[in-house]
């Protein structure tokens, strides 16, 4: 594609190194992410309800650290925050590899959650400090495709390596995950040592006092955060616990098939992301969110239908179909939400804007495993699927409401008839 060649040739070297960080680290995460619930429940012998609570600690820790992360990013730079998060990830992954008690697993998952909470706003801010305009939306999309390449490759390898009857195989993949985080830290320390990613270079006048109150005063920021929370609750948050839990407990799909399903998800993202990016340029980002939610509702319906029968082959096919359709929705969402966030943000509050949206993301991720664990543990599978579909429809409504609150430029379009929203004063307390 001509636009892709132009994008790559115009991308600063720092942007290319950032993509390298993504490729390495997400491969490590792919080795473990689809199998953590299986590892804790079937290898370590924890009940599914307890596993759901343990998995929620990742999001809880991420949520707690998000607000301080936004302040730290704006004050000291995104790179420094990312380095601290990578250290927590290394320790957490090594601890989880040898966790035999719920308390040990809890401490490991908290450390991993601290990394996730710091990484989401810090990495997004780092990207925004390197590229802007339409190139920024495309970077977010390409970053997402590359991230899923690493996750999918790791998922395939992990699915082939791990065996429920051989706990040492799980130990190995968690140690490799730790090594991948260490490599990412080295890239941040050496090739990216000059990149800070904070507001120090901004050209906008800086108010005497700024903080989260200035961000949350804006209706658009609040509505976008609510949309993110709901989308994670019925989407990403279910991929780690709900989907594999449903596949194992309801339809008895094998661990190999689960690994392949995640690979299908990744393959579809890789295949579709670049064509989708070329099609959505100049289109309303809120409409892409609506299309995403519709695709996810169809995906959940497919998964729910597979749970009605007892045929494992049909169930496996349904899981693969779910992942494929779900992936299409992801290619629409990932380039749009962070692009809207950073289009609304001012330079001196960019870390906090990204932190607010990250907090919404983590809030949805806190609720998702708990909801999945309770409903699936109580065998309320129809209620579980119905709730996911209802949540997708709610995202459609929220996206339409958001469209009336954001300026045309933030929504990815421009025109004389588009709504222009004035920004309130950003004075407030941090």
Q: Residue 430 falls within a domain, yes or no?
A: no
CATH code (residue 82): 1.20.1250.20
Q: Would the pLDDT of 142 be above 90?
A: no
Q: Residue 3 falls within a domain, yes or no?
A: no
What integer pLDDT is reported at residue 55 of this predicted model? 86
What integer pLDDT is reported at residue 196 of this predicted model? 66
Mind listing the pLDDT tens digit for each residue in 251-267? 778 878 887 887 788 78
Greater pLDDT, 362 or 40: 40
What integer pLDDT is reported at residue 237 of this predicted model? 84
Q: Would the pLDDT of 430 be above 70?
A: no
Q: Residue 418 falls within a domain, yes or no?
A: no
Least confident of 77-81, 148-152, 188-192: 148-152
- Tell me the average pLDDT across 179-198: 82
| CA dist., res. 296 & res. 299, Å (int) | 5
Percent of the chain residues topping a pLDDT of 90: 25
Q: Residue 142 falls within a domain, yes or no?
A: yes
Burial of 424 (0-12, 13-18, 19+ CB in 10 A): exposed
Domain count, the chain: 1
Mind listing the pLDDT tens digit for each residue in 323-341? 999 999 998 988 888 888 8
Q: Residue 286 falls within a domain, yes or no?
A: yes
What integer pLDDT is reported at residue 236 of this predicted model? 83
Q: Residue 2 falls within a domain, yes or no?
A: no
Q: Residue 346 falls within a domain, yes or no?
A: yes
- Mean residue pLDDT across the chain: 83
Domain assignment of residue 105, given as a range: 13-196+211-403
| CA dist., res. 255 & res. 241, Å (int) | 13
- Tell me the average pLDDT across 126-150: 79
- What contacts 209, CB < 8 A, 6 or more positions away? 427, 428, 429, 430
What integer pLDDT is reported at residue 426 of this predicted model? 41
- Tell me the average pLDDT across 221-232: 93
Cβ atoms of residues 295 and 326 within 8 Å? yes
Q: Residue 44 falls within a domain, yes or no?
A: yes
Q: Would the pLDDT of 92 be above 90?
A: yes
């Amino acid at each position: 594609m001509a636009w892709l060649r132009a994008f790559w040739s115009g991308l600063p070297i720092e942007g290319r190194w950032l993509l390298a960080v993504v490729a390495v680290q997400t491969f490590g995460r792919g080795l473990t992410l689809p199998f953590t619930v299986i590892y804790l429940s079937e290898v370590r012998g924890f009940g599914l309800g307890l596993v759901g609570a343990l998995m929620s600690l990742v999001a809880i820790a991420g949520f707690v650290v998000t607000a301080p992360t936004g302040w730290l990013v704006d004050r000291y730079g995104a790179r420094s925050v990312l380095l601290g998060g990578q250290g927590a990830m290394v320790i957490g992954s090594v601890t989880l590899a040898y966790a035999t008690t719920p308390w040990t697993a809890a401490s490991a998952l908290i450390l991993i959650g601290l990394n996730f909470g710091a990484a989401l706003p810090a990495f997004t801010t780092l990207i925004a400090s390197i590229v802007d305009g339409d190139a920024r939306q495309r970077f977010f999309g390409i970053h997402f495709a590359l991230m899923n390449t690493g996750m999918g490759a790791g998922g395939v390898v992990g699915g082939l390596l791990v065996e429920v009857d051989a706990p040492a195989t799980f130990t190995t993949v968690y140690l490799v995950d730790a090594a991948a985080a260490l490599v990412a830290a080295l890239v941040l320390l050496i090739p990216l040592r000059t990149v800070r990613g904070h507001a120090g270079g901004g050209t906008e006048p800086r108010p005497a006092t700024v903080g989260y109150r200035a961000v949350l005063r804006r209706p658009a920021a609040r509505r976008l955060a609510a949309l993110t929370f709901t989308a994670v609750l019925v989407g990403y948050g279910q991929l780690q616990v709900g989907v594999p839990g449903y596949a194992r407990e309801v339809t008895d799909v094998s661990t190999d098939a689960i690994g392949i399903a995640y690979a299908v998800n990744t393959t579809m993202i890789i295949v579709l992301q670049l064509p989708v990016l070329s099609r959505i340029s100049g289109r309303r980002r809120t409409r892409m969110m609506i299309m995403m939610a519709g695709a996810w509702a169809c995906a959940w319906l497919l998964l729910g239908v597979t749970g009605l029968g007892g045929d494992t082959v049909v169930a496996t096919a349904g899981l693969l179909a779910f992942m494929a359709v779900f992936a299409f929705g992801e290619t629409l969402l990932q380039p749009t939400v962070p692009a809207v966030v950073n289009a609304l943000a001012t330079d001196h509050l960019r870390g906090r804007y990204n932190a607010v949206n990250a907090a919404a993301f983590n809030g949805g991720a806190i609720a998702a495993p708990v909801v999945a664990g309770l409903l699936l543990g109580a065998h309320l599978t129809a209620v579980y699927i119905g709730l996911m579909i209802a949540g997708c429809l709610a995202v459609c409504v929220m996206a339409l409401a958001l469209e009336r609150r954001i300026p045309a430029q933030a929504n990815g379009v421009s025109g004389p008839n588009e709504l222009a929203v004035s920004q309130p004063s950003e004075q407030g307390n941090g």
